[in-house]
Structure 1
Amino acid sequence: MRKLTPTGQQLIEEVAQRHGFSTDAVMSMLESVIRGNGSMAQFDHPEFGGSGQ
């Protein structure tokens, strides 16, 4: 998992709270988007219903 700046961590926490997900789920999705170079995200997290794109 990436190390975020304090501002980045705060943004992750705000997004998680706003959309009703854990910070772990939001970080998982962020990592998926980064791995897909911003054009696609393949993820696997229980809060998002398992695997998907």
Structure 2
Amino acid sequence: MNAIYRLGSDLSVRLPLRPSTTDEAGREQAKLAALAPFLPVAIPTVEAIGSPTDSCPGE
């Protein structure tokens, strides 16, 4: 599960609601890139993938 927030008028931020030990975002992007040529709609692009820091821990 994720929480999605708007970042300005052009971007959104998707934050996981629980910690994960896998690279879910990376795997999702790889699968979407493989599927994109077969889909009738454009796939949104990822601008950045980050991770929690000590000042904002993910757990």
Flag whether TM exceeds 0.5 (same fold). Answer: no
Which structure: greater strand fraction?
2
Query: TM-score, structure 1 length as denominator?
Result: 0.29
Which structure: greater helix fraction?
1
- Name the larger-Rg structure: 2
Query: TM-score, structure 2 length as denominator?
Result: 0.27
